[in-house]
Structure 1
Amino acid sequence: MQTRYKKWLLWILGLGGGLFLLGLLLSWWLPVLFKDKLDNALRESVVNASDSLYQISYDGIDINIPLGNAEVRGVKLTPDSTVYRQLVQMKNAPNDLFDLQAARVQLRGISLWQLLFFKSLRMGGVLINRPVANIVHDPKDYNENKPRKSPYELISKLLNSIRIDKISLDNVDFTFEDRRDTSKEPQKSELKKLYLDVTGFVLDEESEKDTSRLFFSDDISLRAEGLELPSGNKQYIFKMAELSFSSKDSTLQVKKVLYKPLLSKNEFSRAAGYAADRLDLEFNDIKATQVDVKRFLMDRQLFAKRLDIDAGLIDVDKDKRYPADPSRKSYLYPHQLLLKAKTKVGFEKVYLKSTRVRYGELNPKTDQRGAVYFDGTNGTITNLTNDSAWVKKNPRCRVNVNTRFMGTGKLNAYFVFNLASRAGDFSCGGKMSDFDMTKVNGVTKALAKASVQSGRVSKLDFNINANSVQSSINLQLQYDNLEVNVLKVDDETGRLKKRGFLSRVANNIVLNENNPREGRPIRVGEGEVLRAEDESFFNLIWHTIFVGIKDVVIGRGKK
């Protein structure tokens, strides 16, 4: 009996030892086999899928058969310049050229059973560590209507399907060079810290037909830090501190947006050689919700139901010591600039919060800079777009704002832009009450060589209609106790000083101290302004309002 048990025990131990030895042999032989198969499959698939344009290389491959893990180190995907030139000559070159590398690519949870018996690549995750991507976008005319193979057609000879639970790109260094405009230098966009996660990736014959999936995935989310993008103008820099996006939530958020001039206000027009509008933009937070994800990722167009802009600065300044730009017939209005922009956008509603708007000029006659500004600006913009289909459906873009003029007077204003008008038609207006007129001295001293000694506005109501050529205004201004000083520049000191005689003439003869005057009807200001070629949008509005105010303050009856 004991002999029988010993035989069974020896048989079990022998079988176990044999299986253990076989496992050791397989653990040594299978990785080598699969490494060779994987190596051949990678190289062959890259060459075949790219018509020999690309080659893949790497420093090494490690495979863990029991866990289904693999790691590829020092991966590089490089284009063959000779093949690319040949493809260009044959009019068969792609629009985009890629140069990619990564320190490490880790594959987790690969199902060898699915791969061997069903030609299906199924894995739990892919982690790409510190990838560097350089992409050159140089579109070719012959590619516009050219039929292309689908992603599934490219893999179908080797695999029936690819399923990956999660793909992560960690700390991407991304450079995009745009060569669409051959008349200009290529525009470069750089993302130094980009993090990308793709979940639920499925590529098979059926997933191509699933319109609910984006790039064959359930969700694509990205976060980028320290973005520096081309501004389209060498005098500016365009930066974003952080950008985040989720296709599942259809939300795009940007923090700390800067569109900054590289030169100071005194140096900007000097470098240009003419009086140029210097634009300074800064916003703490911008958030787009219900984004059209496919248009954003596939067409690089931003369409959303809602856009929120929080805590911003819009500062426009002009140095009029310099002549007008000789190469420019006229300055475009904001809606005209929007319509000419290359990037298509569309927002049903834009909400502006806590923004400061400033317009300033440096007057060569006084050598001083005067500015009007609006603090704590809150408002809404409806139908902000440059898309022709949207414009055809609704050509009106309307802006409503509440703000504080010169930090004190509460102003309610509106703008209506006709997006379908070739003449740049727009209208605007505003209402303000209870305003101390001495608050405008910073503007009137520099730009009109006059200062307000006293005066209080009880009501201001104006409406302007304008186009690219001219503007007209109807203005009601009710005020009391207006007194001004006429100024001149002192030849010795260069400072402004009072002109006593002219000030007395202005207050006693020229100006109306009150409106309405006792026993007389309220005077209404009316006027027309022919737009100067170098007159910008903000300048024209300020100029037109000034003409209306002057008509009330100086006007006599219908003259």
Structure 2
Amino acid sequence: MKRKFHINKGLKVLLIVLGALIILILGLGIYLNIHWNKTIRSELKSYVHDISDGLYIAEFKEVRLNVFTGSLTVEKASMRLDTVVYEKMLALHIAPAETYQFTVEELRLKYFRPLRYFRGKELRAGSLTVIAPDLIIEHNENIVDTSKPETAYQHISSKMKFILIKTLQLDSTNLKYTFIRKDSSRIIHQFRNLGIQVNDFLIDSLALEDPGRILYARNYVVKMKDYRFRSKDSLYWINIRNISYDAAAQVFNIGQFELSPTLNKEDFQQKLGFQQDYYNLSFEDISTEHLNIKKLLQEQQIWADKMVIHGDIDIYRDRRPPMPSGNKLGKFPNQQLAKVPIPLFIDTLEGRRVNIQYTETSPLTHQSGTLRFSNVNGNFRNITNIDSMVKSNDQLTADLDAIFMGSGKLKAHFDFTLGSKTGNFAVSGELSNMNGRDLNPVTKPLGKVEIRSCDLKELTFHLKGDEMKASGTLKLLYSNLRIAILEQDKDSKGYVRKGLISLVANILALHDSNPGQNGVVRTAKPVLQRDIHKSFFNLVWKTILEGVKETVGTGKI
């Protein structure tokens, strides 16, 4: 009994001691919580004031520190410029060229170690979440700052040893970035609902020199879900979805880009009153590699190593309304590139599995024909309008392959001379293994000709030209060509064959094969003066067509 009594008594003493320790720890925690809350409230404002030499003023509604959970919450926080101090700094030429202002709904710091902060002056936290920040950044090239440049670490070193935040998350961010040039013109970028994640953010004496870091962090990832706006003429909606930029990889991605008309085809033509192409564009998974973000934001220049696109291009043209006034001189691809107001250099633009469709309505038949290029793959190289880059290499090249009208295998090579005032170009290509009847969706509604049979074995062409003309050579190898000349039924709008004319055409006018029975291959040398009211592709297409007509003999019909 005596032993049992001693055990119970010892247990009671232990429990009392533990209880006292718990009460002491809780009491100390509560005391520190109250004391450190007061300290942090005053330090936050003084830190911002002292570190910025009085340039910025910090304000907030509430600060809550919980030493037990290691969390810190700041509500309705802001940092604004003290304009009086700023004007004095400008007069003394010690004002910074770049200024920052922001407001946030809430700051949430988690896994914060208050003891290390208050005793060791080390700000270490697992995460910082910033809710609904509005950031305003302004960079002015006209400001002369004669003060000695200081790093972020030099700014904070008098107050703390380092700042380490493993994950910094900015949700629903609105950002306005203004760049003021030497001529006082302004470039303004505004973005809404950005999501920004910063990984392993560290400010200490060595972080800035760490090659594995970008502005003190291992990585910055910026995302924007949707961006929608109208074109300047209000004829199109432009929708951009799932935008992201990864700073470490220097990769800029767009999940989807759409250009869609605000009007249907009939209302579109009625509003304009003249012919104009009607576009529907949809691209997915657009990626840009090694995009120079500094040149983009500060110098308004686009520099990238590679851009990859996938998608669909649908173009419609109604030839019944009158042509627009003026002409299309100066609008070849290389001439248009030179006029782009933003300097750009893209080493390689790669198109993968792009589908292109061009539809035209004839003023004679009031019917539409469609040209289809499916599964287009291609590479455009040396896309630039920067004088120094053009001087180094003045050739923009494009290599394309596609399936034409569902059966023909098409390959083409384009050479555009950059800096050419007259739009000099060269194009060569090859079309093989095509059933000629696959062209009927175009030849019937637009030319009132039906191809009844034709085995197209090979079409090769080499053309050169400028904005006024094109010429070259063309070789078309084919067999079993038979056509029917059509006329349109006035009532049904359908087509009927002109039997006699078709017979005469097949017997007397057309060459049914190349080479012919004599085994000699006919080669055409088409020459075409450009219709200056029509496009570059119209000139290329019509020059090829001239060579085809010369080869098969349709010019005699």
Residue 38 of structure 2 corresponds to 32
The 8 Å contact of residues 516 and 523 in structure 1, kept in 2 or not, is answered as yes
- Determine helix, strand or coil for the equivalent of 1:534: coil
The 8 Å contact of residues 270 and 322 in structure 1, kept in 2 or not, is answered as no
The 8 Å contact of residues 331 and 535 in structure 1, kept in 2 or not, is answered as no
Q: CA RMSD in A?
A: 4.5
Q: Deviation per CA, 1:212-269: give whole Å up to 9, x if none.
A: 6423322112333233367565322332332333222333333233233333344434
Residue 217 of structure 1 corresponds to 217
Residue 6 of structure 1 corresponds to none
Amino acid at match of 1:32: K
Residue 64 of structure 1 corresponds to 66
Amino acid at match of 1:437: G
Tell me, yes or no, if structure 1 residue 228 matches structure 2 residue 228: yes
Aligned residue pairs, count: 539
Q: Deviation per CA, 1:301-325: give whole Å up to 9, x if none.
A: 5544443334x21223222223333
- Determine helix, strand or coil for the equivalent of 2:467: coil
Say if 1:87 and 1:29 are closer, same or farther in 2 by CA, change over 3 A: closer
Residue 74 of structure 1 corresponds to 76
How far, CA to CA, are the matches of 1:85 and 1:484 in structure 2? Answer: 83
Say if 1:104 and 1:354 are closer, same or farther in 2 by CA, change over 3 A: same
Amino acid at match of 2:380: I
After superposition, residues 15-30 of structure 1 pair within 5 angstroms as 24-30=30-36
Say if 1:348 and 1:75 are closer, same or farther in 2 by CA, change over 3 A: same
How far, CA to CA, are the matches of 2:158 and 2:233 in structure 1? Answer: 48
TM-score, normalised to structure 1's length?
A: 0.79
**Distance apart, 1:67 and its partner CA:** 6.0
Q: Deviation per CA, 1:154-173: give whole Å up to 9, x if none.
A: 94697567523334334325
The 8 Å contact of residues 451 and 485 in structure 1, kept in 2 or not, is answered as yes
**Distance apart, 1:344 and its partner CA:** 4.5
How far, CA to CA, are the matches of 1:215 and 1:231 in structure 2? Answer: 36
How far, CA to CA, are the matches of 2:135 and 2:273 in structure 1? Answer: 37
How far, CA to CA, are the matches of 1:127 and 1:554 in structure 2? Answer: 75
**Distance apart, 1:410 and its partner CA:** 1.1
The 8 Å contact of residues 73 and 104 in structure 1, kept in 2 or not, is answered as yes
Say if 1:56 and 1:357 are closer, same or farther in 2 by CA, change over 3 A: same
Say if 1:46 and 1:86 are closer, same or farther in 2 by CA, change over 3 A: closer
- Determine helix, strand or coil for the equivalent of 1:512: coil
How far, CA to CA, are the matches of 2:453 and 2:541 in structure 1? Answer: 21
Say if 1:70 and 1:395 are closer, same or farther in 2 by CA, change over 3 A: same
The equivalent position to 1:125 in structure 2, one of 119, 124, 127, is 127
Amino acid at match of 1:103: E
After superposition, residues 400-411 of structure 1 pair within 5 angstroms as 400-411=399-410
Residue 247 of structure 1 corresponds to 247
**Distance apart, 1:547 and its partner CA:** 1.6
Residue 424 of structure 2 corresponds to 425
The 8 Å contact of residues 31 and 65 in structure 1, kept in 2 or not, is answered as no
After superposition, residues 125-144 of structure 1 pair within 5 angstroms as 125-129=127-131, 131-133=132-134, 142=142
**Distance apart, 1:458 and its partner CA:** 1.8
How far, CA to CA, are the matches of 2:25 and 2:431 in structure 1? Answer: 92
- Determine helix, strand or coil for the equivalent of 1:434: strand
Amino acid at match of 1:62: R
Gaps in structure 1 of 5+ consecutive residues = 1-8
How far, CA to CA, are the matches of 2:290 and 2:403 in structure 1? Answer: 32
Residue 287 of structure 1 corresponds to 287
- Determine helix, strand or coil for the equivalent of 1:226: strand
**Distance apart, 1:544 and its partner CA:** 1.9
TM-score, normalised to structure 2's length?
A: 0.79
Residue 454 of structure 1 corresponds to 453
The 8 Å contact of residues 380 and 401 in structure 1, kept in 2 or not, is answered as yes
**Distance apart, 1:475 and its partner CA:** 1.0
How far, CA to CA, are the matches of 1:555 and 1:520 in structure 2? Answer: 21
- Determine helix, strand or coil for the equivalent of 1:484: strand
Percent of aligned pairs sharing the same letter: 23
**Distance apart, 1:401 and its partner CA:** 2.0
Q: Deviation per CA, 1:473-519: give whole Å up to 9, x if none.
A: 32111222322233344444444444445434433333323223322
How far, CA to CA, are the matches of 1:389 and 1:372 in structure 2? Answer: 39
- Determine helix, strand or coil for the equivalent of 1:354: strand
